[in-house]
Chain A
Amino acid sequence: MLMDANQPITDQVQQMLIDQVKNGDQLAYKALYDMHKAKVYGLCLRLIADEGHAQDATQEVFVQVWHKIAQFDGRSQFSTWLHSVASNIAISYVRKQKHWLNTVISFEQSGMDEQSANDCNGLNGLDKLIVRLPERARMVFVLYAVEGYRHEEIATLLGMAVGSSKAQYHRARQLLKQWYENE
């Protein structure tokens, strides 16, 4: 099916595509991918703060969604469901990277959690500052301020206390303010 990217895609068309994907139609899945890839990649890039890893995570999201799409029952919006899958994968991707780094070098000493911005050259404005944030502060800020999650939801997603989520958000804001004022 040919999709016009400039036209708003109705829920019915999307549902039709989803039904076709459930029957194993790869062309329909490519259309769904084209519709949502920028949103998924945007989320992954802001959470992971590394272009290469964000691309890998985006691919992993769409591979997993292909396998899990039978589980999508239509009770929520597809974009909401996809967003939830993407958030979980991106967060676990960050954890896997951190675990790997920890097994090789001392992560805290490496300074790598604040130098990721170097790998996100295409970003500007606030995004450029967001990807400079330390990992936990960045993930909380992105989920809370950009994606609109509540601290309770973030705490569950990231496996931290609600208070920690609020503290990390405060930390992120302070750092952003500092960087903005010193620019």
Chain B
Amino acid sequence: MSKTNFDDYLNESLTQLNKNITPDKELWDGIERAIMTNKQASTVKSVVWPKLTAITACCVAALVSTMVFFTSPETNTAVAMSDFFTKQKQSLLVQYQSQAALTDNWQVQLQELEDAEQAIKQTLENEPQNKALLSMLAQVYQQQLDLINKVHAPRWQQI
């Protein structure tokens, strides 16, 4: 019996050729691992800034407490605290300046907190070592930082 003509063999083989070939090895595990690794890396990237901000805020709060309760009477605690928070606030505002805020009225809220800050500072002029007032001032500063972070941080998380 003669062999089929090559052209016929080729045409027939190509027509019948199954394009699907199942791999011997299960490949999904490797794919899933690669996807997960990348996903985790991007998750770390997206949460690192809010976390850093939160850590910074905690450090700030701790520093304020230290300043309020452990600074010597000779030091003008309110001024030192004010300088510290002003720098923190400016730094955050610069950091977020190119980023849209989550709400439109956050600057109104910030202004209200700044008004409260001014009122406490005025009272502190008469009682510079009043721990309750210093603590209130620290809280108002902290609220300002929290507000700035809160209205901007969700955008970071979306990246």
Give CA–CA (A177, B11) in the complex, Å.
Answer: 12
* Cα of A38 to Cα of B32 in the assembled complex, Å: 17
* Residue contact A26 to B35, C-beta cutoff 8 Å: yes
A-B contact count (CB 8 A): 73
The residues of B that contact A126 with a CB separation of less than 8 Å are: 10, 13-14, 17
B9 at the A/B interface (Cβ < 8 Å)?
yes
CA separation between A176 and B14, bound complex, in Å? 13
Q: How far is the CB of A123 from chain B (nearest CB, A)?
A: 8
Query: Is B21 in contact with A63, judged by CB distance below 8 angstroms?
Result: no
A147 contact set on B, CB distance < 8 A: 19
Within the complex, what minimum Cβ distance (angstroms) separates A43 from chain B? 7
CB pair B19 A146 closer than 8 Å: yes
Q: Shortest distance in angstroms between A107's beta carbon and chain B's nearest beta carbon? A: 26
- Name the CB-closest residue of B to A66: B35
Interface positions, chain B 6-32, Cβ under 8 Å from A, are: 6, 9-10, 13-14, 17-25, 27-28, 30-32
- Identity of the chain B residue whose Cβ is nearest the Cβ of A61 in the assembled complex: B31
**A63, B27: Cβ atoms closer than 8 Å:** no
Q: Tell me, rounded to whole Å, the shortest Cβ–Cβ distance linking A122 to chain B.
A: 7
Residues of A close to B123: CB separation below 8 A: none
Asked if B31 and A59 make an inter-chain contact with CB atoms under 8 angstroms apart, the answer reads yes
- B contact set with A: CB distance below 8 Å: 3, 6, 9-10, 13-14, 17-25, 27-28, 30-32, 34-35, 38-39
- A residues whose Cβ falls under 8 Å from a Cβ of B: 24, 26, 29-30, 33, 37-39, 41-43, 45, 51, 54-55, 58-59, 62-63, 66-67, 122-123, 125-127, 145-147, 173, 176-177, 180-181
* CB-contact partner of B24 in A30, A43, A51, under 8 A: A51
A122 and B24 CA atoms in complex are apart in Å by 9
CB-contact partner of A41 in B23, B35, B39, under 8 A: B23
Which residues on the A side are within 8 Å of B23 (C-beta)?
Answer: 37-38, 41, 51, 54-55, 58
Which chain A positions have C-beta within 8 A of B38? 63, 67
If A26-B32, A67-B38, A146-B17 touch, whether A59 touches B27 (CB-CB below 8 Å) is yes
The interface residues of chain B lying within 8 Å CB-to-CB of A66 are 31, 35
CB distance from A140 to the nearest CB of B (A): 14
